[in-house]
A and B are shown apart, each in its own frame.
Chain A
Amino acid sequence: MFRSLKLIPLLLTMAFSVIVSAGPLGIGSVATPEMIAGWDIDIRPDGTGLPDGEGTVAAGEGLYEAKCASCHGLFGEGEGRWPALAGGEGTLDTLHPEKTVGSYWPYASTLWDYIHRAMPYTAPQSLTDAETYSISAYVLYLNDIVDDEFVANRETFARVKMPNEENFYVDNRPDSKNERCFENCADPKAFEIVTTINGLTPTGHFKEDSGVAANHYDGNPSAASESGISKEKNDTKIVLSDKATLGKGVYDTACQACHNPGIAGAPRTGDKTAWVSRIDQGMDVLNGHAINGYQGADGVMPAKGGNMSLSNDDVINAVAFMVELSR
């Protein structure tokens, strides 16, 4: 009697789901080891989760070139704007930090885990375990972290030490201590006001002609961005040639976005130091570079500033304008 009473509800629930949970609310089914095995793909720094099998740097090279290099570059340098996977050592405390697997990542396990779960970008979770070992080994090799003899498997991979591991520490915010002051909390005479870079914001949604606030200038393009609210710059008068006067309009539409603020490696117009060795190359070289574009040491100057509707003369006039202001 006692036995059968207990059995009935059990049999009833069995009819609804495979194996019932024995938790406090009895909701859900038991996750079987097979189900878990299919989805449990994560790897930890201590090597937990790394599967059987192995791969080599040599095998990784071909796989990487076929499946990864189109975006990440043959040497991990990153094609176009796709992420770089190698390089950047020694840059983290500079003004141009480059965070890559080699320069930044604290653990090699993260590489295995991420490549396996998310790469190649367009075909995630398509790599076999052996392929993942080989490609991960190759990316480590591109970063000089392992040599070309390296054989990656559960044991060797978990032992790889990443150069930047020690440079991470747990969040120590709050780090800034502002006070709730109400009067004379700052000195307005010391204010430096920085405005936005013209052309970076898509403003079409609220400004009819898509005009944006500019670091505008009058003979000195950087005056606005450098002058504080109470600091005024004494512009030296520059008399422009006819060519340069014509070039000002072209410059305003096609060149100032990069050359006013001096972003992305562009020499700032009016910055004499940045221009002196460039001007020394002669006008022909400068005009050629501006018309055809080039990859320089500081960045990429797009042909005609990216505006192919400009004539060569337009560009030459704009260069004259820039050079006359920067001499």
Chain B
Amino acid sequence: MGRIYEPSLPKLMEAIATEARGMKGLDRRNFLKGGIAAVAGLASVQIIPKASASSNLPPNLPKWQSHLGPGVVSKPYGEPAEFEDLQRRTVPWLTVDAASSISMTPLQDLEGIITPSGVVFERYHGGIPNVNPDQHRLIIHGLVERPLVLTMDDLRRFPSVSEIRFIECPANGGMEWRGAQMEALQFTHGMLACCEWTGVKLSTLLDEVGVKPDGKWILAEGADAAGMSRSIPLEKALDDTIIAWGQNGEALRPEQGYPLRMLNPGWEGNTSVKWLRRLEIGDQPWHHREETSKYTDLMPDGRARRFTWVQEANSVITSPCPEKPLKQSGFVEIRGYAWSGRGKIKAVDISFDGGVNWERTELKGLVLSKALTQFSYRTTWSGQPWLLQSRAIDETGYVQPTLKQLRDERGGWSIYHKNSIHTWNVMENGDVFNVQIS
């Protein structure tokens, strides 16, 4: 991720000032003063949503039922219903230029574990190249027996695989290292998506070129203006790396690397180089800009971790969330996603009191390795404030850490890999706010 938060710079100041203009503050004192006592036992409040009047409602005949609708192929490539508002969104003050920036997935509006291709978060370092697939080539060379140049047609002849895997920017949540900042799920956790990817295993391609015995690392390079490049160790390449051309049943979207990308399941998104044009096999890593200046994690002692590839287990409650407040008292299913770069999610726990007491949730639907996994908890809400948290446990036994545990280890400036337990403050009126407990 580019520059997360840059103090002392005039343009940022202007941006903050512009965004802050005209915004009304909500008074939160009541909750803060009420404190934990309120959480424990508050008198029930009935909250009932406003009913909307419409001539389409029973017992009337809805207007869409009284005439024919458009026929087949009125839209050869369909799109969401006009009433839906599924959109990627960005935080304008985050980065200096849109061609080197990030947008987020609307997690609050998603159903199930597959992210529709059109709203998968974007991260570019030099914008989206417009690659003609007929003129695109993948060259594999370096410490190999048979350097190869492959067309898209060549690649599709290889035995293919399809896998559902999440992809996450390591800066997901990075704005929140030093304090709660973002009042929306889309911005706290939206640098995350999960798709079905189709392509050839990199190990198959490596068999085809024949890696020489001293070949230990692979440089993956993109055909974008940034010439994105990352060093990938051979073990990962031989394990589960995919060279993908398909995404959710069709060709990759340009935003996701059309016509060809690397996918390193469970690893920080930046390693999954898009618009892939070249793989060079070498005996050492390259230490390029995106694995030195960026995507290294600065620790409080001034030293930095490099090659921090894996996305550790993480989870977040997606309903309720700031965008999806509780609108009605009574039965509520609390839902969310958990995911781990080390494998399958084993369990997810939930807390209503900021992490004092925890309950087990139920995992729903497909539970796949390195994929978004849904969890669910059924309860009733009667207008009591909650400090809602979720805690993921993966198949290695790793338990998602608290923010304090992460800060104690890493301080507040490491930008990347903030996978700590997240807190939503559900208010008496059902509104949901992002808070941090320390």
Partners in one complex: yes
- Asked, given contacts A110-B292, A186-B355, A307-B21, whether A173 binds B308 with beta carbons under 8 Å apart, the answer is yes
Residues in chain A near residue B302, CB distance under 8 A: 92-93, 97, 167
**Binary per-residue interface labels of chain B (144-182) against chain A in the complex, 1 for a CB within 8 Å, 0 otherwise:** 001111110010011000000000000000000001111
Q: Is the CB of A264 within 8 A of B12?
A: yes
Residues in chain B near residue A302, CB distance under 8 A: 10, 13-14, 17
Q: How far is the CB of A40 from chain B (nearest CB, A)?
A: 7
Q: How far is the CB of B90 from chain A (nearest CB, A)?
A: 8
- Asked, given contacts A40-B280, A185-B357, whether A196 binds B225 with beta carbons under 8 Å apart, the answer is no
- Asked if A202 is an interface residue, CB under 8 A from chain B, the answer is yes
Cross-chain contact of A168 among B7, B150, B304 (Cβ < 8 A): B304
Residues in chain B near residue A283, CB distance under 8 A: none
Cross-chain contact of B23 among A93, A177, A210 (Cβ < 8 A): A210
Q: Is the CB of A213 within 8 A of B183?
A: yes
Q: How far is the CB of B18 from chain A (nearest CB, A)?
A: 6
Q: How far is the CB of A156 from chain B (nearest CB, A)?
A: 19
Q: Is the CB of B179 within 8 A of A194?
A: yes
- Asked, given contacts A23-B209, A124-B226, whether A81 binds B141 with beta carbons under 8 Å apart, the answer is no
Interface residues of B in 333-386 (CB under 8 A from A): 347, 349, 353-359
- Asked, given contacts A109-B287, A211-B26, A227-B32, whether A39 binds B277 with beta carbons under 8 Å apart, the answer is yes
For the complex, what is the distance from the CA of A45 to the CA of B18, rounded to whole Å?
44
Q: How far is the CB of B251 from chain A (nearest CB, A)?
A: 20
For the complex, what is the distance from the CA of A22 to the CA of B144, rounded to whole Å?
12
- Asked, given contacts A44-B286, A99-B293, A169-B305, whether A210 binds B11 with beta carbons under 8 Å apart, the answer is no
Q: Is the CB of B22 within 8 A of A253?
A: yes
- Asked if A138 is an interface residue, CB under 8 A from chain B, the answer is no
Residues in chain A near residue B184, CB distance under 8 A: 201, 203, 205-206
For the complex, what is the distance from the CA of A295 to the CA of B9, rounded to whole Å?
9
- Asked if B248 is an interface residue, CB under 8 A from chain A, the answer is no
Cross-chain contact of A211 among B25, B85, B306, B425 (Cβ < 8 A): B25
Residues in chain B near residue A205, CB distance under 8 A: 85, 87, 89, 184, 186, 323
> What DSSP secondary structure best describes chain A's contact surface?
loop
Could you tell me how many residues of chain A have their Cβ less than 8 Å away from some Cβ of chain B?
A: 116
**Binary per-residue interface labels of chain A (177-219) against chain B in the complex, 1 for a CB within 8 Å, 0 otherwise:** 1111111111111011111111111110110011111101010
Residues in chain A near residue B359, CB distance under 8 A: 182
Q: Is the CB of B26 within 8 A of A212?
A: yes
- Asked if B116 is an interface residue, CB under 8 A from chain A, the answer is no
- Asked, given contacts A93-B301, A99-B298, A305-B17, whether A170 binds B413 with beta carbons under 8 Å apart, the answer is no
Interface residues of B in 186-229 (CB under 8 A from A): 186-187, 207-210, 219, 221, 225-227, 229
For the complex, what is the distance from the CA of A124 to the CA of B227, rounded to whole Å?
8
For the complex, what is the distance from the CA of A172 to the CA of B28, rounded to whole Å?
40
Q: Is the CB of A106 within 8 A of B287?
A: yes
Q: Is the CB of A171 within 8 A of B96?
A: no
- Asked if A300 is an interface residue, CB under 8 A from chain B, the answer is yes
Interface residues of A in 9-67 (CB under 8 A from B): 21-25, 27-32, 35-36, 39-46
Interface residues of A in 206-262 (CB under 8 A from B): 206, 209-214, 216, 218, 223-224, 227, 229-230, 232, 252-254, 256-258, 261
Q: How far is the CB of A294 from chain B (nearest CB, A)?
A: 11
- Asked if B3 is an interface residue, CB under 8 A from chain A, the answer is yes
Q: Is the CB of B437 within 8 A of A199?
A: no
**Binary per-residue interface labels of chain B (414-428) against chain A in the complex, 1 for a CB within 8 Å, 0 otherwise:** 000100000001000
Chain A binder among B43-51, B234-242, B398-406: B398-406
Q: How large is the interface on B (under 10, 10 to 19, 20 to 34, 35 or more residues)?
A: 35 or more
**Binary per-residue interface labels of chain B (318-342) against chain A in the complex, 1 for a CB within 8 Å, 0 otherwise:** 0000110000000000000000000
Residues in chain B near residue A272, CB distance under 8 A: none
For the complex, what is the distance from the CA of A169 to the CA of B343, rounded to whole Å?
25
Residues in chain B near residue A174, CB distance under 8 A: 312, 398
- Asked if B429 is an interface residue, CB under 8 A from chain A, the answer is no
Residues in chain B near residue A46, CB distance under 8 A: 284
- Asked if A105 is an interface residue, CB under 8 A from chain B, the answer is yes
For the complex, what is the distance from the CA of A82 to the CA of B96, rounded to whole Å?
7
For the complex, what is the distance from the CA of A68 to the CA of B97, rounded to whole Å?
16
- Asked if B395 is an interface residue, CB under 8 A from chain A, the answer is no
Top 5 A-B pairs, shortest CB-CB distance? A306-B17, A199-B20, A214-B25, A93-B302, A257-B20
- Chain B residues within CB distance 8 Å of chain A: 3, 6-14, 16-29, 32-33, 35-36, 85, 87, 89, 91-93, 96-97, 100, 108, 125-126, 139-141, 146-151, 154, 157-158, 179-184, 186-187, 207-210, 219, 221, 225-227, 229, 277-278, 280, 282, 284, 286-289, 292-293, 296, 298, 300-310, 312, 322-323, 347, 349, 353-359, 387, 391, 393, 398-402, 405-406, 408-410, 413, 417, 425, 433-438
13 contacts between A and B (CB under 8 A): A29-B148, A31-B139, A40-B278, A93-B300, A121-B126, A167-B303, A169-B304, A170-B305, A171-B306, A197-B180, A202-B19, A227-B32, A229-B437
5 new A-B contacts, CB < 8 A, other than A23-B208, A31-B148, A188-B356, are A44-B284, A92-B303, A171-B306, A192-B437, A216-B25
